[in-house]
Structure 1
Amino acid sequence: DHSRRRRRKKAISSASRSSMDQISVEFVLPSGARGKSGSDKLLLDVAANWTVEQVKTQVWLRAVTLNVCPDFYQRFSPDQCILLYQKKGSVCEIYDKQQVFQTLDCVCYWRALKKDVGRIQLVLRPQQLDESRQYQRYLNYLIGYDVTDVSNVHDDELEFTRRKLLTPRRIELADRDPKLYSMDPWVTGKPLPEHLLSKVSNGYILAVIHIGTVSQTIKVCIQDSPAQVLASFFAKTSNKRVLLGIPENVCEADFVLRVCGREEYLYGDKPLQDFNWIRQCLKNGEDIHLVLESPPNPDLDLVQKEDWAQVDDCTGAAGTHEQLTIDGKDHERVFTISMWDCNRRFRVKVLGIDIPSLPKIPDFVVFVEASIFHGQQLLAQERTSSKTFTEEVLWNCWLEFNIKIKDLPKGARLSLQVVCRKQAQTPNSKAGSAHQDSAASPGSHDGKAKSRLLYYVNLLLVDHRSLLRQGEFILHMWKMPEKSEESGSGSVNADKLTSATNPDRVSSMAIAVLLDKYCCPVVLPKSRAARGGGEEAAGGERGRREMPNHLKKQFAAIVATDPLHPLSPEDKELLWHFRHECTRDPRCPPPHVDPRPPSPGRPSLTRVVLSRAYPKLLSSVRWGRQEDVSETHRLLERSSAWDSSRLDVGLALQLLDCHFSDAQVRSMAVRKLETLEDDDVLRYLLQLVQAVKFEPYHDSSLVRFLLKRALRSKRIGHFLFWFLRSEIAQSMHYQQRFAVLLEAYLRGCGEDMLQDFRKQVEITEALQKVTREIKAVSAEKYDITAQVVFQLRQKLEALQSSGLPEDFRVPYDPGLRAGALLIEQCKVMASKKKPLWLQFKRADGSTLSKDPIGIIFKDGDDLRQDMLILQILLIMESIWETESLDLCLLPYGCISTGNRIGMIEIVKDATTIANIQQSVVGSTGAFKDEILCQWLRDKCVSEDKETSSTSTLATSWGTIRVSWESVRNGFPSFSRQTSCMSWEPRERKAAPTSRNSRTCASRLISLFGITQTCSSSSSPMMLNDRHAAADEQGGHRVHQGGADSGPQRRRGARHLLDQIEICREKGWMVQINWFVHLVLGIKQGVEKRSI
């Protein structure tokens, strides 16, 4: 036996040679002997498969053995020291102590340089300076969360991510153009729409350039860049320099153009027609007023230097299976284990649950339902037996899942749910018995008793270092909100995906579980080593057989279905079987495919079809099978159809929703978004921020993409700041993830932006305090007395004299800077939440407008839903503009600035449908359509203007839905979605094929025809708003009919016309809705003003 074992070791030693290599490293020790100049050095041959922690320990032991400065090694420990190396002039820290040494970036760097001996410096961990601590407290104040607090984490992922995001931040700052960043021109790359081009006379426009108190009007070409405009201005005013106050020793290079009254610059190489402000002036028929001034100082955007050493991108990277496997290794040389060597089933021991205060649920029993998910795909599920619900319930039972450890993918989460039901209906079940009911809705078990989800928590089975979780965990669970609480939240489903634990450790439910322990770290390999072409190529050829024509049609039909349409098992099987069709470039036919061009009898799969197939294909992957996951990753590495297809934001957003947790899939989507211009990033920023919730780990490609784009553009950074800060304040489930991203941005945005954010936060906090004081003195009153208004103005006056910032950027429009309060024009609005009606002076001295900046400050409403609807309107408008359609949408400014607080722009001279209806006969005006028709006729003297106003009024109807959220939340049983449109009397009598109906249908079809962008863009928000999800699913058939092909577009138009006919028949329901709205408004004393 002994000889056979020796022969077996010899036979496989060559296969494991790479993992047993020795790496020679010279370590520079932190202390030298007394009387010596320089540091002590130690040469050590490091085993390639040692971890960094083992390497540091070995160096420490060797130094102690050699008696190198014994006093130092007695006072300190290895944990108090860090390892540094130099790469291209930069000092990098080897940060991950669990990382295998041969996977370090420094080792790869030495091998690339063909160095025989590497060099690493062992130094004491630097202490944080008082200045750094003070700066961190300042950042924590702006963030609204202490990112250094690790009391509620069970690993070091938070600190790990903070350090890793330093590298992309430094790279972006090194590449950033200081002048371009300081002025941040707001431009677009889309062609000028025809309806705007028609307003340009022969390609020229008039621009009024102001210098101090004088101005000069010049005629400029719409194709000229700002530099050319400046050159033209200086050429035409060369004889007027003294009159204009321009010194003789300056030229056009010393000046820039800024929009009058706004902090918005015209700068760069883009033509004038690409600047959004120029387009807005053309659209509104306004004159273009610019001010000539010196450029801002880029030094104001300097970034404070950090104490941290840089961490390379290989930190936390796992090795290949061949580097980690135990096969062929002596047990004394095994320091890590590959997960792909673990063939046993995964199991978890549920120890018990504990809660300080038992909820009031009499005569109930509870059980723990344990599920393993990847994204939304259920991989395995088990449950414990049922026991009486007390303050402490113990099970001490193992649950073994029907999935092997080697098949657990990265991003897989263990979902633990405490479910209760009545005592009398307790089923006879054993611990660990299989449970077939869906985990998403723990309804009835055994078909007898209804169950109710009480608490939930998730644990990622593979951590951020790719290490399998081991040992005991005590997890503080989240309470499932009651129905009344849920109706006001709307984000419960997204919250259930979080891997964070409840920070309230005092009163929350805690669950104790035990995972298997191993003698070594168990690592999920990043891949297998590249093999020869034999087996893999043969498998690839088998998967690339030509698809029959009838299956091509079926394949294309599956791909063309709506993103919300569920795939059948047969659909998934077909997609997976012909998976290579989805990833190939259609310009290159696969082997054994007929090279002739397609014909009606021989259809072809175009690049558009193939690229759209990716979300469907990836939905068909069995993520609980390691072989399928590896095959998917190989396919994604050769995703030529995706890379060669045109940018489709909708498809990319589909891959970033809650259904996909694989890092390579999500990175592929982000890679496509890299080509987005800043204007488009702003348009989809709200969805992208929400999509961060669906990332399994804090550090991800999406987080880095958002960080990079925010550090390039102040405008993107401004909105990213408020979107993140609002989520941090309102979503405890994702506080840490959003906080670490916001901190990374604030450390790179520059001092000027930090000061602006500080002013905005101070204004928000001060106004929130005043609002709550006013609500306290008039909480039960629906009418606002003169005394309440007097108290408000007193408080605002005291606030303004006590150090309120003199000016601040308006959060919903960073181009505007507001100044002092116009206290006599401020008041309290007579509605339930008592919002403040505030008027501010314009702080910019170059402004030409005499109107103040009006802001409604609300405390008590979640404005994130309002922001979503307004943002979708902007997306719709951009789609219509590509088809040269102008529907005169005027979305107002709205932003959430904290926990149920926010600001809304006051729309000047606006009115509401309620005001129009009540102006004649009171509340019964809701039943008189002729009132609205007469109002339109009074405002418009021509038919064209009447049609335009009808479109504008339709936009106003869309905004009613926002204000009705509170009504719907107050009356859960009342559904307002009885009819989605309303028609004036003459239209109601007309056939559904009338001009207005056909126009309406064509406008909606144009939305659905652009690569399903609208539906896909809202997919990251679907789990955050259950009402929106229902609305999206209800529009399924319309969306399917809106594909690119002519027949499908005609079917979609026909379906829309049918829906219009239904709405015409149910017009009386809309009238009832309006009537109820009016009555509630009167009852609550709602002021007759538009918000």
Structure 2
Amino acid sequence: MPPAKTDQLDLWAESGLDGDDQVMVDFLLPTGIYIQMEVPRESTIQHIKLLLWKEAQTYPLFSLLGEMEGHMFECVNQAAVHEELEDETRRLCDVRPFLPVLKLITRNCGRAERILDSKIGVLIGKGLHELDALQDQQVKDFRSKMKRISEEKMQRMQLMSWGEWLRSCYSTQLETESVENLIDKHEGVIKITMHYDQSQVCSVILYIRDCLLANESPHLTLVHCDVVKAIFEKEICTIGSVLARKASNPPLPLPPKKRTPTVRTLSVFPALQLIKGALSFVPLAVRAGLFHGTELLCKTAVSSESSSRSEHVWNKTLEFDIAVCDLPRMARLCFAIYAVMDKVKKQRSTKNTHLNKYQTIPWVNTMVFDYRGQLKTGDIILHCWSSFPDELEEMLNPIGTIQTNPYTENATELHISFPEYSTQPVRYSTVWCLVGVACVYVNKEWCNNLKEIMERDPLSQLCENEKDLIWTLRYDCRENFPQSLPKLLLSVKWSKHEDMAQLQALLQIWPKLSPRDALELLDFNYPDQYVREFAVNCLRDMSDDELLQYLLQLVQVLRYEPYYDCALSRFLLERAQSSRKIGHFLFWHLRSEMYMPAVSVHFALILEAYCRGCIPHIEVLKKQVEALSKLKAVNELIKLGTIKTKTKQAHLKEAMMTCLRQTGFIETLSNLHSPLNPNILLAGVHVERCKYMDSKMKPLWIVYHNKLLGGDTVGIIFKNGDDLRQDMLTLQILRLMDLLWKEANLDLRIVPYGCLATGDHSGLIEVVSSADTIANIQKTSSNMAAAAAFNKDALLNWLKDKNSGDALDKAIEEFTLSCAGYCVATYVLGIGDRHSDNIMVRSTGQLFHIDFGHILGNFKSKFGIKRERVPFILTHDFIHVIQQGKTGNTEKFGNFFRQYCEEAYLILRKNGNLFITLFALMLTAGLPELTSVKDIQYLKDSLALGKTDEEALKQFRQKFDEALRESWTTKVNWMAHIVAHPS
């Protein structure tokens, strides 16, 4: 592995690959010959191989090499992994080997397959040889199944007509009835008529270019339009779809054993890495719990204590008080290794030992049944995780991953053994029962109690009596409260096989839920496979646009799936391979978290399956990945110049522009689909207008030409070093709020700009055109920075400069509506750090907020004093604009603006359960301010869930008055911010 403290760019620069046009490369030939020669750093691998071949003719043993096509290069990449450069269209500067050494190796058979595997590996950020090397039958079975499905779909796609193909792949971009008229394929010429919507036609042009089905190279002719005229290359479309057949596993008779698999813990080592700072002889113990979701199925088991200087051994069988036949299919065993704290405390008096039981407990989870439904047996080695969430009961982490830690060298090993129960494999057996309506006497009090329980929010806890009532009246729930299925599931006794069978049969006749209600069933609390299949079946009613709205959560929910081949994985692949736009965002949501060890294998498998089913999309996505790599190199170059050489800003900007003008950068950064919106083609970089921003991580401000949109430019901010996932979540919720308001005929002019995490603390943000920050607007209106924040006329005067006549009235109306929307949204979501550089206004009047690093009431403080004292931002200069600069115009503010706010708040309240569900589904994403259910409690309080509309409205009005009364504190904070950031 490369040295941890060595900057990879430094290594690259020292190797000469980031400097001159020529670079010295060492070539190792299979004949044992070593050749050193200069090659152009911008050359493709294919051209470099040709140069090497000409040079090798002058060396001995050349005749033993054979044909040039029978060889390819291999290098050690930046991750210190051997990479075969099968895709020879890549340039050397894009490959960026760890050292300038290329080894020539002989190709094996199946070159086309190897090229595809190489492209997929580079694209997803994990070589497929790493998946090949995994000794995991589940991985092999999943890959084999997905490959077969993709090949079958490819054969079907090749038989489709153009109209059928477009209708199946791009239904979100095209009106179904206009597809056949839009495209006329005749004698190798594709004609596209421009009297249809321009954005639709542009989308079709771009997609056809990447996904041609023809066997010849057709010409593209645009009638009434000379924007694009291009000859397309021959390429076979292999858009696949995952329509997996449900595997049948005939149940075998269960053995007469009456206990769970007893777990015998054999050894744990090394001791010094179990508890940081602990001595090797500190007594250690193992705690184990059997869970279904977050429900503990029976009493936890604890091993005996062990003190050792090397290995810890517990000679004890851990038994659980539950019958084998009562084990749920998704039962999981959770382990934690901990120090016996009372004995450690005694040692503290004589030893300087500092222990923290929560921060240092190694933990690990494993399923009781494997992916085939077979009860696990034999010895298993589990590599533990060290990071441990706070405030978990029983010191166990059931919500944590069931994957073991891949970093085995530094991980604590836990050896466990499942006993043999039978000479034959024991499989999970589903006992189906006939469902009939039970005759249960229901009195009025029971009905009222049931109704009250069903109307509670998802965070409300159920007591045992309430669970018993729900289960008793489960048929009434089905008839009268079908959306209450989550509460019924929480009432099931998952440790009783009879109850599980009753539920599984009941699911067969349960009414279909709306997709929004079904989302809650994908939470970790509902791990049963039949429940999750029911939920996914409900999601099939989603349109593509609706699916995109919730795709962020659906990807995170994959973390809860213990097995790779599940209903949710198949559903996402099926929809992604049927819609290029869904596939685009599924790709980036998965790839952006490939660096996380707990999900890297699972996400890599889904990415590989998607790529094999959408081969034409590979080149489109590959260009985006390469472009982001180039932008990252520019960003790190600027950081390097700022930190190490203290280069002046003007010189750094010039260096940035010089870099962007290089041939390799121009080719890579031009003519690519925007990762933020795949319907937009980024034609070329407008280098003169590009810059880097003067903040800690030096984000790049990149301006693109966009010929397909009438010559308009497109701005994109590239960030490297900031985690954008919390911003992405907040903007998604803002987009949902905007949708809910519009469904209720209330348009509050929200600006949910694009934001996309693309990797480890990196991503893109859309630049909103014709907009400026409140801080800049105030500073340009005043000669003194300290006085700028108190100039209430600055904002109104700025809008007057941008708009005249009737346009000004329209701009003020836009400002009023958008200000109301963001006041309510920022209050409900608890968005903090609202200084004047985080609020912007468009020239058309729309106000909008940016930068959501603090949410759910995590307001900033300094020296223990809360800096933000208002529930939301509503300053007097905002009110001045709303009142059109007329102090006496209180009617518009009181009757219109305040009414907008109250109406918007009540609409969000009606959908409070949906917001709670969406945040709950993100709990394991690792967002800094969303780590436990307690964080979501803020939403319950801000939306006043559990109260009547009258009570909630009274609470909101109090917050509204508080925002007005304390707005002077906001102005003081803004003044301090402007003084601290004058430029």
**Normalising to structure 2: TM-score of the pair?**
0.72
> Quick one: distance in 1 between partners of 2:520 and 2:700?
39
How many Å apart are 1:969 and its aligned residue?
9.5
> Quick one: distance in 2 between partners of 1:547 and 1:612?
20
Instruction: Provide the residue aligned with 1:344 in structure 2.
Output: 259
Any residues of structure 2 matched to 1:499-514 within 5 Å, and which? 499-514=402-417
1:24-76 Cα deviation digits (max 9, x unpaired): xxxxxxxxxxxxxxxxxxxxxxxxxxxxxxxxxxxxxxxxxxxxxxxxxxxxx
Any residues of structure 2 matched to 1:804-953 within 5 Å, and which? 804=668, 806-842=670-706, 844=707, 846-849=708-711, 851-919=712-780, 920=782, 921-922=784-785, 925-926=788-789, 945-953=811-819
Instruction: Provide the residue aligned with 1:302 in structure 2.
Output: 237
Taking a change above 3 Å as real, the CA distance of residues 551 and 804 of structure 1, as seen in their structure-2 partners, is: same
RMSD, matched Cα:
4.4
How many Å apart are 1:146 and its aligned residue?
3.1
1:723-760 Cα deviation digits (max 9, x unpaired): 1111213x221111111111111111132x11101111
Any residues of structure 2 matched to 1:490-505 within 5 Å, and which? 497-505=400-408
Instruction: Provide the residue aligned with 1:767 in structure 2.
Output: 631
How many Å apart are 1:914 and its aligned residue?
2.8
How many Å apart are 1:882 and its aligned residue?
1.3
Partner amino acid, structure 2, of 1:913: I
> Quick one: distance in 2 between partners of 1:972 and 1:626?
56
Say if 1:841 and 1:852, in contact at 8 Å, map to a contact too: yes
Partner amino acid, structure 2, of 1:816: I
Instruction: Provide the residue aligned with 2:86 in structure 1.
Output: none
Does the alignment pair 1:547 with 2:450?
A: no
How many Å apart are 1:1052 and its aligned residue?
3.3
Say if 1:917 and 1:925, in contact at 8 Å, map to a contact too: yes
Instruction: Provide the residue aligned with 2:540 in structure 1.
Output: 674
Equivalent of 2:124, from 143, 153, 174? 143
Instruction: Provide the residue aligned with 2:287 in structure 1.
Output: 369
Partner amino acid, structure 2, of 1:463: D
Of stretches 293-302 and 573-582 in structure 1, the one that deviates more from structure 2 is 293-302
1:993-1029 Cα deviation digits (max 9, x unpaired): 7542332121121133258433333331134346345
Instruction: Provide the residue aligned with 2:660 in structure 1.
Output: 796
Say if 2:243 and 2:574, in contact at 8 Å, map to a contact too: no
> Quick one: distance in 1 between partners of 2:358 and 2:903?
47
Taking a change above 3 Å as real, the CA distance of residues 804 and 901 of structure 1, as seen in their structure-2 partners, is: same
Instruction: Provide the residue aligned with 1:55 in structure 2.
Output: none
Say if 1:923 and 1:1079, in contact at 8 Å, map to a contact too: yes
Equivalent of 1:981, from 872, 879, 885? 872
Taking a change above 3 Å as real, the CA distance of residues 696 and 361 of structure 1, as seen in their structure-2 partners, is: same
Which structure carries more relative contact order (alpha carbon 8 Å, separation 6+)?
1
> Quick one: distance in 2 between partners of 1:780 and 1:262?
49
Taking a change above 3 Å as real, the CA distance of residues 657 and 768 of structure 1, as seen in their structure-2 partners, is: same
> Quick one: distance in 1 between partners of 2:762 and 2:906?
36
1:866-891 Cα deviation digits (max 9, x unpaired): 11111111111111221222111222
Equivalent of 1:1027, from 918, 923, 929? 929
Partner amino acid, structure 2, of 1:767: L
Taking a change above 3 Å as real, the CA distance of residues 725 and 305 of structure 1, as seen in their structure-2 partners, is: closer
How many Å apart are 1:1034 and its aligned residue?
1.9
Does the alignment pair 1:318 with 2:249?
A: yes
- Aligned residue pair count: 799
> Quick one: distance in 1 between partners of 2:139 and 2:201?
39
Equivalent of 2:428, from 483, 500, 525? 525
Say if 1:258 and 1:290, in contact at 8 Å, map to a contact too: no
Say if 1:494 and 1:693, in contact at 8 Å, map to a contact too: no
Equivalent of 1:959, from 849, 858, 877? 849
How many Å apart are 1:625 and its aligned residue?
2.1
1:137-183 Cα deviation digits (max 9, x unpaired): 22111111234535886742112222233455456556666545547
Instruction: Provide the residue aligned with 1:197 in structure 2.
Output: none
Partner amino acid, structure 2, of 1:1034: Y
Equivalent of 2:297, from 366, 370, 379? 379
Partner amino acid, structure 1, of 2:870: S
Instruction: Provide the residue aligned with 2:474 in structure 1.
Output: 579
Say if 1:262 and 1:817, in contact at 8 Å, map to a contact too: no
Say if 1:319 and 1:525, in contact at 8 Å, map to a contact too: no
> Quick one: distance in 2 between partners of 1:145 and 1:345?
38
Partner amino acid, structure 1, of 2:118: R
Q: Secondary structure in 2 aligned to 1:474? A: strand
Say if 1:255 and 1:292, in contact at 8 Å, map to a contact too: no
Say if 1:1041 and 1:1053, in contact at 8 Å, map to a contact too: no
Instruction: Provide the residue aligned with 2:956 in structure 1.
Output: 1056
Taking a change above 3 Å as real, the CA distance of residues 976 and 130 of structure 1, as seen in their structure-2 partners, is: farther
Instruction: Provide the residue aligned with 2:486 in structure 1.
Output: 615
> Quick one: distance in 2 between partners of 1:180 and 1:779?
56
**Normalising to structure 1: TM-score of the pair?**
0.65
> Quick one: distance in 2 between partners of 1:1005 and 1:1058?
15
Taking a change above 3 Å as real, the CA distance of residues 343 and 923 of structure 1, as seen in their structure-2 partners, is: farther
Taking a change above 3 Å as real, the CA distance of residues 1080 and 225 of structure 1, as seen in their structure-2 partners, is: farther
Say if 2:338 and 2:357, in contact at 8 Å, map to a contact too: no
Any residues of structure 2 matched to 1:229-240 within 5 Å, and which? none
Instruction: Provide the residue aligned with 2:144 in structure 1.
Output: 163
Equivalent of 1:263, from 178, 186, 202? 202
Instruction: Provide the residue aligned with 2:362 in structure 1.
Output: 455
Taking a change above 3 Å as real, the CA distance of residues 883 and 806 of structure 1, as seen in their structure-2 partners, is: same
Q: Secondary structure in 2 aligned to 1:352? A: strand
Instruction: Provide the residue aligned with 2:17 in structure 1.
Output: none
> Quick one: distance in 2 between partners of 1:727 and 1:153?
20
Say if 1:376 and 1:659, in contact at 8 Å, map to a contact too: yes
Does the alignment pair 1:397 with 2:311?
A: no
Q: Secondary structure in 2 aligned to 1:411? A: coil
> Quick one: distance in 1 between partners of 2:356 and 2:721?
38
Taking a change above 3 Å as real, the CA distance of residues 820 and 480 of structure 1, as seen in their structure-2 partners, is: same
Instruction: Provide the residue aligned with 2:378 in structure 1.
Output: 471
1:911-954 Cα deviation digits (max 9, x unpaired): 12332344434256556666556656776776664242134356
What are the ranges of 5 or more consecutive residues in structure 1 without an aligned counterpart? 1-126, 190-222, 235-245, 269-288, 326-337, 429-447, 487-491, 531-535, 587-604, 1083-1087
Taking a change above 3 Å as real, the CA distance of residues 251 and 427 of structure 1, as seen in their structure-2 partners, is: closer
How many Å apart are 1:224 and its aligned residue?
11
1:82-119 Cα deviation digits (max 9, x unpaired): xxxxxxxxxxxxxxxxxxxxxxxxxxxxxxxxxxxxxx
Partner amino acid, structure 2, of 1:1016: T
1:1025-1058 Cα deviation digits (max 9, x unpaired): 463455531232554659xxxx944443333223
What are the ranges of 5 or more consecutive residues in structure 2 without an aligned counterpart? 1-107, 208-223, 348-354, 823-837, 840-847, 881-886
1:184-224 Cα deviation digits (max 9, x unpaired): 556499xxxxxxxxxxxxxxxxxxxxxxxxxxxxxxxxx99
> Quick one: distance in 2 between partners of 1:395 and 1:727?
37
Taking a change above 3 Å as real, the CA distance of residues 227 and 480 of structure 1, as seen in their structure-2 partners, is: closer
Any residues of structure 2 matched to 1:548-563 within 5 Å, and which? 548-563=443-458
> Quick one: distance in 1 between partners of 2:721 and 2:525?
32
Partner amino acid, structure 1, of 2:237: L
How many Å apart are 1:838 and its aligned residue?
1.7
Equivalent of 2:602, from 728, 737, 754? 737
> Quick one: distance in 1 between partners of 2:639 and 2:417?
50
- Rg larger for: 1
Say if 2:259 and 2:320, in contact at 8 Å, map to a contact too: no
Instruction: Provide the residue aligned with 1:328 in structure 2.
Output: none
Q: Secondary structure in 2 aligned to 1:557? A: helix
Q: Secondary structure in 2 aligned to 1:834? A: coil
Any residues of structure 2 matched to 1:562-601 within 5 Å, and which? 562-583=457-478, 586=479
Taking a change above 3 Å as real, the CA distance of residues 247 and 414 of structure 1, as seen in their structure-2 partners, is: closer
Say if 1:388 and 1:423, in contact at 8 Å, map to a contact too: no
Say if 1:371 and 1:382, in contact at 8 Å, map to a contact too: yes
Identity, in percent, stands at 27
Say if 1:257 and 1:292, in contact at 8 Å, map to a contact too: no
How many Å apart are 1:402 and its aligned residue?
2.4
Taking a change above 3 Å as real, the CA distance of residues 802 and 886 of structure 1, as seen in their structure-2 partners, is: closer
> Quick one: distance in 1 between partners of 2:853 and 2:978?
12
